[in-house]
Chain A
Amino acid sequence: MRATLLVAALATGTFLTTAPALAQDVAKGQDLFNHKCAACHQKTGLGVKGAFPALAGDPFVVGDPEPVVRTVLQGRGGMPTFAALLSEDQLADIISYIRQAWGNSAPAVNTGFVVTVKTNAHPQDKAPTVTH
């Protein structure tokens, strides 16, 4: 029932996608980011020009959280999927962190929202890695 409501809310764009910041552990998010994401996006959030996009000051990162969560879950371009590597809790912490770090200022994203996006995301369409 709750899931149905969430789906409906998402579809109409009326659902409150964010939670009070205290719901997410942004410090934990920073630590996770530095380990899981900073290889490409850099600890500074500035990315590497021509290779990995900057997250600091990026309108996408601080915009509608749904595509942000979906990108982390599904991967895009050279970015792998993190759906299996990180829990919904961890993903919420990381995404909340990048929305609030380096001068970014956007509401945190809670675990429930990540769960919802994950549930509604299109089946992940990424080929299995075969070895070479």
Chain B
Amino acid sequence: MPAMTELPGAGVTRRHFLEKAALLGGSAMVMTALNAWGAGIASMTSAPPALRGSGAGHKLLILGAGVAGMTAAYEMSKLGYQVTILEARAFGGGRCQTARKGFKLTELGGEEQECTFDEGLYLNHGPWRIPFCHRSTLHYTKTFGIPLEVLVNENDASYARFDTVKGPLAGKRVRQFEVRADMRGYTSELVAKAATSGKLDTGLAKDDVELFVEYLRGEGYLENDLSYRGTEGRGYKVNPGAGIDDPGPGVPSTPYAFPDLVQSKLWRMVQSVGTFDQQHTMFQPVGGMDRIAKGFEKHVGHLIKYNAEVERIRQSDGGVTVDYLDTKTGKRSTISADYCLCTIPVSVLRTIDADFSDAYKQAMGLLSYDPVCKIGLQMKRRFWEEDDAIYGGHVYTDAPGINLISLPSSGWQSAKGVLLGYYMFGADATDMSGNTPAERTAIALDVGQRIFPQYKENFENSFSASWHLIQYNLGGWGNWSAEARKVAYPVLNKPDRRIYLAGEHISYIGGWQAGAIESAWHQIAQIHQRVVA
């Protein structure tokens, strides 16, 4: 099994320097690895379970008003259950948050940040993308009438710059379509020439080899002699326009040299297709991801006790009892229910006084959580659109840990914009999070400046989040090792007596809202089945 974490020389920075883990060893290797790790990515459940019978007369206590908790509350209250949600924060949504003007965040051990973006600008510092295949998330955006817009998740016109590589392209800013066209062009040329000269055993009949070469000719924009000499898709030196010349037909661009490209490692950006959950079409809610949280809250907000921090969880034969602290008033209360759906992240849950069985506690101990950091940078001018004709999408860099810079897919051609300055995971993220917000901003600006000379002069303000340092989360998402997925995940999918767990971590769609929703659907079906049995 190719373990990506063990590739020789594949340091964390190399491993994560592009947003797709796939880019190290090609998609085949990654799919093998992902499947072996049980991190399958498809979300195939598209509607809540069709549950029959009534839950009337039964109390369901839900811990956490995130997407999982509110999904369960919405569906179970429709069935007649008497639902209460305890939520530690003053707002619902869990990680489904959006930072906009006035949003406050104090990370553990850190200083308070107050978001100062201009009105209308925002950063989705939690979830930010809704893939086409996440039918469950899309079920609720449709149900609640939450307007969506396309998030540009791939942009061939966007830039990349790798500094830690060899060759003439090191430290050079390139357009992604140049690399894509040239790598696939040269590769097609090599394969086509080998196939037609009998040097390649294609396993195809002679007539079929001709068809195959026809494919390669189209795939790589090869000329009649099967050579690749560039194509308009890699951009022009001078774009075509009006008139006889200047620009007239324009001036074609020249491909990079094959050895230079190979040395540059820029081919890490090139893949046949994106992973299933990163393909077109990618969505985002208009106005911010927390529109989803608000959509749920509109329907289940009356069931939520806010500022209710769970302190103690106990079970008896007849039910579940939870002590909680009202963090606003300091008042302590106790609430009992027949069943409990606990959506508190396990990273937090294992610090709460609870009488789970030893086996359950042991299973919880095996789930690790990923440190994750993001920063939003407000720019007073959308120079990436105005100067560089880049509308959304990601800029790739191999600057340590930065991973990517992502340009906003909202407010096209408006005055200002907030871009995502970094998206970091793992040890890189803990490293970054040790900085003050001002230091984080300075690092992000230095990296961005290497790609866009307009970066620093247009910067106005920033907002950063480090999920592992955020109270009530302590991590971006659950990360199951192969071993834990095998031995602990099945345990936590089952109830501990009358307590069921739900959340992105109790799914194979970890770190996505679809995982939270579908785990809730799965668990409420179990609860309801037990109640009506």
Q: Are A35 and B275 in contact (CB under 8 A)?
A: no
Whether B45 is near chain A, meaning CB under 8 Å from some CB there, is: no
What residues of chain B lie closer than 8 Å to A52, measured between beta carbons? 108
Q: Which residues from 475 to 533 on chain B have a C-beta closer than 8 Å to any C-beta of chain A?
A: 475, 477, 479-483, 485, 511-512
Whether B221 is near chain A, meaning CB under 8 Å from some CB there, is: no
Q: Are A130 and B39 in contact (CB under 8 A)?
A: yes
Q: Which single member of B4, B368, B371, B512 contacts A132 (CB below 8 Å)?
A: B512
Interface segment among B82-90, B186-194, B329-337, B422-430: the answer is B422-430
Chain A: minimal CB distance from B532 (Å): 35
Whether B34 is near chain A, meaning CB under 8 Å from some CB there, is: yes
Whether A131 is near chain B, meaning CB under 8 Å from some CB there, is: yes
Interface segment among B236-244, B408-416, B466-474: the answer is B466-474
Whether A28 is near chain B, meaning CB under 8 Å from some CB there, is: no
How far does the alpha carbon of A34 sit from the alpha carbon of B369 in the complex, in Å? 22
Q: Are A131 and B21 in contact (CB under 8 A)?
A: yes
Q: Are A130 and B275 in contact (CB under 8 A)?
A: yes
Chain A: minimal CB distance from B129 (Å): 7
Q: Are A85 and B5 in contact (CB under 8 A)?
A: no
Q: Are B368 and A48 in contact (CB under 8 A)?
A: no
Q: Which single member of B6, B429, B479 contacts A123 (CB below 8 Å)?
A: B6
Chain B: minimal CB distance from A65 (Å): 21
Q: Which single member of A77, A123, A131 contacts B347 (CB below 8 Å)?
A: A77
How far does the alpha carbon of A78 sit from the alpha carbon of B12 in the complex, in Å? 16
Q: Which residues from 28 to 82 on chain A have a C-beta closer than 8 Å to any C-beta of chain B?
A: 34-40, 42, 48, 50-52, 75-82
Q: Are A48 and B4 in contact (CB under 8 A)?
A: no
How far does the alpha carbon of A126 sit from the alpha carbon of B33 in the complex, in Å? 11
Chain B: minimal CB distance from A36 (Å): 5
Q: Which single member of A34, A35, A78, A84 contacts B371 (CB below 8 Å)?
A: A78
Whether B15 is near chain A, meaning CB under 8 Å from some CB there, is: yes
Whether A120 is near chain B, meaning CB under 8 Å from some CB there, is: no
Q: Are A50 and B5 in contact (CB under 8 A)?
A: no
How far does the alpha carbon of A84 sit from the alpha carbon of B400 in the complex, in Å? 12
How far does the alpha carbon of A39 sit from the alpha carbon of B469 in the complex, in Å? 8
How far does the alpha carbon of A124 sit from the alpha carbon of B33 in the complex, in Å? 14
How far does the alpha carbon of A39 sit from the alpha carbon of B434 in the complex, in Å? 4
What residues of chain A lie closer than 8 Å to B200, measured between beta carbons? none
Q: Which single member of B109, B480, B512 contacts A127 (CB below 8 Å)?
A: B480
What residues of chain B lie closer than 8 Å to A75, measured between beta carbons? 368
How far does the alpha carbon of A77 sit from the alpha carbon of B347 in the complex, in Å? 7
Q: What 1/0 mask marks residues of chain B from 341 to 381 whose CB sits below 8 Å from any chain A CB? A: 00000010011000000000000010111110000000000
Whether B233 is near chain A, meaning CB under 8 Å from some CB there, is: no
Whether B433 is near chain A, meaning CB under 8 Å from some CB there, is: yes
Whether B278 is near chain A, meaning CB under 8 Å from some CB there, is: yes
Whether B165 is near chain A, meaning CB under 8 Å from some CB there, is: no
How far does the alpha carbon of A51 sit from the alpha carbon of B350 in the complex, in Å? 10
Interface centre among A42, A48, A76, by most chain B C-beta atoms within 10 angstroms, is A48
Q: Are B434 and A77 in contact (CB under 8 A)?
A: no
Question: A126 with B479: in contact, given A76-B368, A80-B370 (CB under 8 Å)?
Answer: yes
Q: Are A78 and B468 in contact (CB under 8 A)?
A: yes
Q: Are A36 and B471 in contact (CB under 8 A)?
A: no
How far does the alpha carbon of A75 sit from the alpha carbon of B277 in the complex, in Å? 27
Q: Which residues from 84 to 109 on chain A have a C-beta closer than 8 Å to any C-beta of chain B?
A: 84-85
Whether B100 is near chain A, meaning CB under 8 Å from some CB there, is: no
What residues of chain A lie closer than 8 Å to B365, measured between beta carbons? 77
Whether A129 is near chain B, meaning CB under 8 Å from some CB there, is: yes
What residues of chain A lie closer than 8 Å to B20, measured between beta carbons? 131
How far does the alpha carbon of A78 sit from the alpha carbon of B345 in the complex, in Å? 11
Whether B19 is near chain A, meaning CB under 8 Å from some CB there, is: yes
Q: Are B434 and A35 in contact (CB under 8 A)?
A: yes
Instruction: Output the nearest chain A residue to B424 by Cβ-Cβ distance.
Output: A129
Interface centre among A48, A77, A80, A85, by most chain B C-beta atoms within 10 angstroms, is A80
Whether B10 is near chain A, meaning CB under 8 Å from some CB there, is: yes
Q: Are B371 and A80 in contact (CB under 8 A)?
A: yes
Chain A: minimal CB distance from B395 (Å): 15
Q: Are A126 and B481 in contact (CB under 8 A)?
A: yes
Q: Are B21 and A128 in contact (CB under 8 A)?
A: yes
How far does the alpha carbon of A77 sit from the alpha carbon of B468 in the complex, in Å? 11
Chain B: minimal CB distance from A61 (Å): 18
Whether B3 is near chain A, meaning CB under 8 Å from some CB there, is: yes
Q: Are A85 and B13 in contact (CB under 8 A)?
A: yes
Chain B: minimal CB distance from A114 (Å): 16
Known A42-B109, A78-B371; 10 more pairs at CB < 8 Å: A36-B427, A39-B434, A40-B108, A77-B347, A78-B369, A78-B468, A80-B430, A84-B15, A130-B21, A132-B512
Q: What residues make up the interface of A, taking CB atoms closer than 8 Å to B?
A: 34-40, 42, 48, 50-52, 75-82, 84-85, 123-132
Q: What residues make up the interface of B, taking CB atoms closer than 8 Å to A?
A: 3-6, 10-13, 15-16, 19-21, 30, 33-34, 37, 39, 41, 108-109, 127, 129, 275, 277-278, 347, 350-351, 365, 367-371, 423, 425-431, 433-434, 466, 468-469, 471, 474-475, 477, 479-483, 485, 511-512
Instruction: Give 5 closest A-B pairs by Cβ, nearest first.
Output: A39-B434, A132-B511, A85-B427, A39-B433, A128-B4
